[in-house]
Amino acid sequence: MSADRAKTNYPICGEPISQNPRYPNAVCGRCAGLATDETGRRLGFANENPSGGFVAYYLDTDETHDSHMCFVNGIRCWADEARFGEIVIQVDNAAEREKTRDAEQAAWTATNQPRGRG
């Protein structure tokens, strides 16, 4: 009996995953289509050339967006070339880690500074 339980829902929208994902934090195709930069401009992703590579660009101007970072529903994600050359967008767990660390730091500060400021 295995204790592992595979994720069965996409991380952002909670849609059920229909196939076994190679990337457990990857968002679904619909969410990938909602990706924006940090200012809310819509982003598209493509292969840099026929053999692969990764490029992000603004959908409105076709201007290259020189970053892998994107946001889906305000959640920071990381877009990259997947194993078989397709583009995959995954929830950026570093953001989760930062959030956790901030919370821990806030708790620590609250504990160690009885008269905490604002």
Residues near Zn ion (CB under 5 A):
10, 13, 15, 28, 30-31
Closest to Zn ion by CB, 31 or 91: 31
**Beta bridge partner(s), residue 16:** 9
The least CB distance from residue 102 to Zn ion, in Å, is 26
The least CB distance from residue 12 to Zn ion, in Å, is 5
Closest to Zn ion by CB, 24 or 110: 24
Closest to Zn ion by CB, 31 or 77: 31
Sequence-ordered list of residues with C-beta below 8 angstroms from that of 52, at least 6 positions apart, any chain: 81, 85
E strands, 1-53, are: 43-46
d(CA 108, CA 29): 40
Helix (H, G, I), strand (E, B) or coil at 90: strand
The least CB distance from residue 52 to Zn ion, in Å, is 24
Closest to Zn ion by CB, 9 or 100: 9
**Contact call for residues 28 and 47 (beta carbons, < 8 A):** no
The least CB distance from residue 15 to Zn ion, in Å, is 5
Dihedral pair phi/psi, residue 105, rounded to 5°: -65, -40
